[in-house]
Amino acid sequence: MSTQKSIKLSDYVEYPFLIPSIYLDFDIGTDYVVVQSSMIIKQKKKESSKLVLKGNQIKLLSISINGKELKFSEYSISDKSLIINSPPISEFELKIRSQIDPFRNTSLEGLYLSSGMLTTQCEAEGFRRICFHPDRPDVLSRYTVRIEADRTLYPILLSNGNKKYSGNLNSNNLRHEFIWEDPFPKPCYLFALVAGKLNSVSDTYITNTGRLIDIRIYVEKGDEKYTKHAFNSLKKAMKWDEDNYGLEYDLDEYKIVAVRHFNMGAMENKGLNIFNSKLVLADSKTATDNELERIESVIAHEYFHNWTGNRITCRDWFQLSLKEGLTVFRDQSFTSDLHSKGLKRIEDVSFLRNFQFAEDKGPTSHAVKPKEYVAIDNFYTTTIYEKGSELIRMLELLLGKEKFFRGINLYIKTFDGSAATTEDFINSLIKGAYLEEKNCPFDLDKFLNWYYKPGTPKVYINQSWDSKNSILNVSFEQKIDSDKTNENTEMVIPILYSCYSREKGANPIAENNLFVLDKNKKHLKINTLPGEKEAPVLSLFRCFSSPVVWESDLLIDDYLFLFLNDNDYFSRWDSGQYLMREILKTRLCNKNNLSLEYKFINAMKETIKSLEINDPFFLATLITIPGFAELESLFEKVDPIRIYRESIDFQVLIGNEILQELRVIAKNLFGKIDHEWPMGKGERKLLGTIWFYLSLAGDRDVQKNCVESISHSSMTISRAALGALKPLDNTLTEEASNLFYNLWKGNPVVLDSWFAYEASRPHKRGINVIEKLLSHPKFDWKAPNAIRAVLGGFSKNIDLFHSLDGQGYLFMADKLIEVDKINPITASRMVKVFSKWKTYIDKNKEGMYESLLKLNKSNISPNTREVVELILN
């Protein structure tokens, strides 16, 4: 349990006041900013209640109601709030003049400075650093914003909505003003303001109903040339949402601002999205194919929030997955429609398994709908986001696309302009789909357990073959063990399955049937073809139909069969992953199973033959080993250094065994990699994968070729070359890294990838390397991207971070204590590198524990303390 006070879902009470409109006036000076707010307020009920407003590091200058200055006795003020004891019963105007200091605000919350420009971040609770306000998402208001500032220092002055006016100030023509109006009521976390020297690039979009939208991207001078990809992505997202969800953009302008100093990836402020510059500025010379695809999806994600998040918002922060889970689901569907459904699914599942499953197993495990929290910033997690999205995907599967969209439409119609709950969403969905809740074919209460229970359910599968009747009997059992209450929780687990006859090659007997496991135990009877002698091969959880782990009695040969024959992208990939997990598990238990290793490598060779030209992206995905976090999760006692070494050894073996085949393909790939994304991305990925294996296997020609490719015009190729040289730690690695640095030292976004490379690559020079990176002249302590590059990179440097003397951990703890002083949000996210301490072998466990104690004894922020205490307990 936390030593700090927590907020509970069960304590929710409606805010007793409405604030239909807010007028905000910003007077930007050289040392501080004067903010004047004027709020129209009315009590919801007839009886009077106290008016409680939040405020953080705001200096109050004056306060009045209906033009009358308040006496000291009429309000009380603390460092966290301002309370007006008995406000008028009838509608009144509350005017507050106050002063804030954005120039010394390093938290990157509220109003702050980034590379000379002023910018805001209000989600989740940053608005209270700008002015006194309830600062909760269920208070919706119409905003009008006036900004005045020096014309040369701040030529661009932006806020949400449409521009109403701009002009010079008569009294003093060094200053100018802008007035912005947002006609849509919104919660304050969607408020945004940007002021500074920015250049803009513009484009237009015409909606399906013929409305012309002005779209504009604001960047620092010189970065204009990197906005094309973001524009294309935005226009695709706007079109997709109209075509698929019937949702059209609602303002006349859509603006995106790129900022260097940003805690998160991007923020969906109404009509004025603010983006981490690394998620806007990109072309195929500066960003990899993966990064370009990520940017496309983040731009879409923030755009999609305009409906799922902004027009319909969250009642309170316990409902966070209402907007984030749903919007992740929407951005995943978007990417999957634009590119490849099968490959996108593999990518998303791989992410989920490596990060969300790991979170579910560890000390910060929580439900998609948590019951309590200390700092809401700590709840922007992969469970809220990616598991939240999985729940909606299951609903889409259970309802079918047509009914699902009927449900979504009803939800949007019903809750437009209001603040809703996840239960509102589910109820609308079911009502829209089946007209009445009672018609729902599955048990809704059991489905809701997905929202309320933490942990990853496990499903056990056993088959028995009835050869006389050619029937395959399958029994399923579900268990969810993170549930400490020991009650018998049942979930609704949709299982898509197919069956393959061994005799008749790859023809499925039953294809993509849906079985719903909604009890602890349930049986399935599969009729195969009459006369079928042998039991068929069962392909389960196709498309990864539910976010569970499972254990079945399938045999190694079954997995080999599926790895070669399954026609579901996910299941085919997963069979290979299963086999590789088995191989690595065996190796790490000091046993060997050479026959399995060679069987698998032969299957790899066969796959290479059959897939080489057709589907290079898929082939590369199939022959890549499971992620490190996934491997860690296989063991009761984790030895990170050994896992790393065994996985390298296994990859050396693969490289050596399929050397000839890989060399031939690599040759054929040249000449096919010089296309603009997305064209050629499969060839580039496959080439990168092959380079990695061949370089590991000691192929000097490939290694030299990699060094030469650092200056290739495609960043994907350049970074693939770096990646292939990474494990070697020899002079070629050094040379490649220097070449890369010299090419990109002028571009901070690209340089971050160099910082991450240097911090994460194995080298014998010890921890000094990390210290040096942190004091490198190009390293910026105030930029979370840079901190994440170096410290995040360091945490993936297995030998260094996990060194048995515990020095790596202590170093990390010291640095995080420093980061926490200037930026608690970034520190508390990064401190999760210590989450798995209890699962490690004793040496590592003790080292991590000591570092956690050190953090705990230090004077750290409430945010970081919450995470440290959870991890320690």
Instruction: Give me the least distance between CB of 675 and ligand BES, in Å please.
Output: 26
**CB neighbour list of residue 211: distance below 8 Å, 6 or more residues apart:** 248, 249, 252
Closest CB to ligand BES among 599 and 782? 782
Q: Indicate which of ligand BES, Zn ion, none lies near residue 267 (CB less than 5 to 8 Å, by partner kind).
A: ligand BES
**CB neighbour list of residue 778: distance below 8 Å, 6 or more residues apart:** 745, 748, 751
> Is 477 part of the annotated catalytic residue set?
no
Q: How far is CA 340 from CA 42, 413, 715, in A?
A: 52, 31, 22
Which of the stretches 19-27, 295-303, 496-504, 840-848 binds ligand BES when contact is defined by CB under 6 A? 295-303
Closest CB to Zn ion among 296 and 324? 324
Of 123, 302, 324, 632, the active-site residue reads 302
DSSP single-letter state for residue 239: H
**CB neighbour list of residue 675: distance below 8 Å, 6 or more residues apart:** none
Q: Indicate which of ligand BES, Zn ion, none lies near residue 88 (CB less than 5 to 8 Å, by partner kind).
A: none
Strand, coil or helix: 188? helix
Q: Indicate which of Zn ion, ligand BES, none lies near residue 298 (CB less than 5 to 8 Å, by partner kind).
A: ligand BES
Contact 421, 138 (CB under 8 A): no
**CB neighbour list of residue 662: distance below 8 Å, 6 or more residues apart:** 608, 655, 690, 693, 694
Instruction: Give me the least distance between CB of 789 and ligand BES, in Å please.
Output: 16
Q: By rule CB under 5 A, what string of x and - marks binding of each residue 315-334 to Zn ion?
A: ---------x--x-------
**CB neighbour list of residue 749: distance below 8 Å, 6 or more residues apart:** 277, 278, 281, 282, 286, 785
Is residue 292 a contact point for ligand BES (CB under 6 A)?
A: no
Q: What is the CA radius of gyration of the chain?
A: 28
Is residue 430 a contact point for ligand BES (CB under 6 A)?
A: no
Closest CB to ligand BES among 98 and 354? 354
Q: How far is CA 330 from CA 133, 258, 297, 547, 633, in A?
A: 32, 23, 10, 17, 29
Instruction: Give me the least distance between CB of 844 and ligand BES, in Å please.
Output: 29
Instruction: Give me the least distance between CB of 327 and Zn ion, in Å please.
Output: 5
Q: Which of 268, 568, 630, 752 binds ligand BES (CB under 6 A)?
A: 268
Is residue 265 a contact point for ligand BES (CB under 6 A)?
A: yes
Which residue is closest to ligand BES by CB?
A: 265
Closest CB to ligand BES among 301 and 453? 301
Q: Omega of the bond prior to 134 within 30 degrees of 0, cis? A: no
Is residue 386 a contact point for ligand BES (CB under 6 A)?
A: no
* Number of Cα atoms under 13 Å in the Cβ half of residue 328: 22
Beta strands in 518-635 (DSSP E): 521-527, 537-539, 549-552
Q: Indicate which of Zn ion, ligand BES, none lies near residue 237 (CB less than 5 to 8 Å, by partner kind).
A: none
Is residue 324 a contact point for ligand BES (CB under 6 A)?
A: yes
Is residue 298 a contact point for ligand BES (CB under 6 A)?
A: yes
Is residue 266 a contact point for ligand BES (CB under 6 A)?
A: yes
Is residue 123 a contact point for ligand BES (CB under 6 A)?
A: yes
**CB neighbour list of residue 525: distance below 8 Å, 6 or more residues apart:** 471, 472, 473, 474
Q: Indicate which of Zn ion, ligand BES, none lies near residue 347 (CB less than 5 to 8 Å, by partner kind).
A: none
Task: Quote the CA–CA distance of 864 and 364 in Å, as a whole number.
Answer: 12
Reading the block at residue 385, the tokens are 């986001």
Number of shown-chain residues binding ligand BES (CB under 6 A): 15
In the block, residue with structure tokens 């609704």: 492
Closest CB to ligand BES among 385 and 476? 385
Task: Quote the CA–CA distance of 627 and 630 in Å, as a whole number.
Answer: 5
Number of shown-chain residues binding Zn ion (CB under 5 A): 2
One-letter amino acid for residue 659 of the chain: L
Which of the stretches 197-205, 296-304, 396-404, 510-518 binds ligand BES when contact is defined by CB under 6 A? 296-304
Which of the stretches 130-138, 301-309, 654-662, 805-813 binds ligand BES when contact is defined by CB under 6 A? 301-309
Is residue 305 a contact point for ligand BES (CB under 6 A)?
A: yes
Closest CB to Zn ion among 105 and 273? 273
Please give the helix or strand (H or E) that residue 336 lies within, else none.
helix 320-338
Instruction: Give me the least distance between CB of 187 and Zn ion, in Å please.
Output: 14
Residues within the interface to Zn ion (CB under 5 A): 324, 327
Active site positions, annotated: 302
Residues within the interface to ligand BES (CB under 6 A): 123-124, 264-268, 298, 301-302, 305, 324, 328, 380, 385
